[in-house]
Amino acid sequence: MASQGFRFIHASDFRLELPVDGLMSLPDRFGDAILDAPRLAAERVFDAALREKVDFVVLSGDLLSPRETGPWGMLFLIEQFKRLDVAHIPVFWGAGRNDSPDVVPAAFRFPPNVHVFPVGQVEEVFFNRDGVSLARILGTSWGKTGVTPRGAVEPVEGADDLYTIGVFYGRLPAETLKLESVRYWALGGSRRRETVSRSPSLAVYAGSTLARNFTETGDFGATLVEVGESGRTTATLIRTSPLRWSEERLTVREDETAEEVLNAARSRMKAIQDKEREDASFAGRSLDNNIWLVSWRVDAEGGALPALRYGATTQTIVRDLRSDFAKEPPVVYAVDFEPIVPEKVPEEMYERQTILGDYLRMIRYYGENEGEEINVEAFMPESMRAWAAREPLRY
């Protein structure tokens, strides 16, 4: 067990080559923040390591694809590693499918504080402080064959009393997670932050540092791991993603005015903005370059649906929400305000004496009488009726 406590950051999946997706358009003033989001999210990991004065950093794969980022990606990582080297913070990197040593160009040289685990075998290294070993780190990098070496976590003679960290990319077998020789598994290969085991070891997928679209809601970042003198382990999220995404649902009654609908949306947006401001203050995070993107899905009752779908109300609501909440940090940006078309048309719509009611009744009639033909010749221009007589249009 650790006779002294220590702290480290576990991070993965920078994917510097992957852009943000799922946005049709944004104001020009947000362009740089969106384009630069992958780099900024990764940089915040290293900022946190320096701010928290951690003892070391563990990286568990998919930091970048060197071929897709080009030279800037590797140069960016080297620059960040050098920042840690100045602060005497070592880096232990178990590479994944995209950043395997197999695909990293040999021309790039990492500073001396960076240790990349080999492909195809598990290597044991130690973290020392003042000449005393405090932790044993077992790691491997993913290779082209994708083979996991057998015996990867066998206890090492003379090191049984050290806190052991396993660095691995991919899914671990259930029996491996039950081994008591490893106290913390730093896992990579999943974009989602997930704790897959708490006993006897803590096994964590750090997930991606950046949320890139509306399917990636919630918190994205790195994990601050604190090991006490007794070996007790706690893991805390450090948010690094400058982008957050959420889908908000709103129900609009038929008798509500446009101003009432706008005020209901404003109330929700303000709650999001206040929560973001509170969380940033508590964590000591900057709100610069942070954007919370909100997609509105509106359940509109009765006559409210066509008013929102076809009138100018929706555009006015979106314009006002953007004016109110997207001008200064923390930015909360209304991406859209889309009424949801119900899967089943309310029965009352069929009963209305309107063009829509006539249409719906006709659709229902022919749906219930599939064998009856619809002759549309009467609705065709005179010039086409001769052709239609030869080739009847029937549905």
Per-residue pLDDT reduced to its tens digit, 262-305: 999 999 999 999 999 988 887 777 778 899 999 999 998 877 87
Mean pLDDT of the chain: 87
* Nearest-angstrom CA–CA distance, 104 and 13: 16
> Is residue 157 predicted with pLDDT exceeding 60?
no
In the block, tokens 């048309």 appear at 345
Report the pLDDT value the prediction gives residue 175, as an integer from 0 to 100. 84
Average pLDDT (110-123) is: 94
Report the pLDDT value the prediction gives residue 141, as an integer from 0 to 100. 94
Average pLDDT (100-112) is: 87
> Is residue 218 predicted with pLDDT exceeding 80?
yes
Report the pLDDT value the prediction gives residue 395, as an integer from 0 to 100. 46
Per-residue pLDDT reduced to its tens digit, 49-60: 999 999 999 999
The Cα-based distances of 190 to 195, 205, 238, 390 in angstroms read 11, 7, 17, 62
Give 134 or 179, the one with higher predicted confidence. Answer: 134
Counting residues of the chain whose pLDDT is more than 90, the rounded percentage is 58
The Cα-based distances of 241 to 211, 233, 286, 296 in angstroms read 6, 25, 12, 21
Average pLDDT (71-96) is: 97
Give 211 or 328, the one with higher predicted confidence. Answer: 211
User: What residue segments make up the domains of the chain, in order of their start?
Assistant: 6-239, 243-339, 347-390
Report the pLDDT value the prediction gives residue 125, as an integer from 0 to 100. 96
> Is residue 3 predicted with pLDDT exceeding 50?
yes
Tokens matching residue 273? 């903005």
Reported CATH class of domain 6-239? alpha beta
Per-residue pLDDT reduced to its tens digit, 250-260: 999 988 999 99
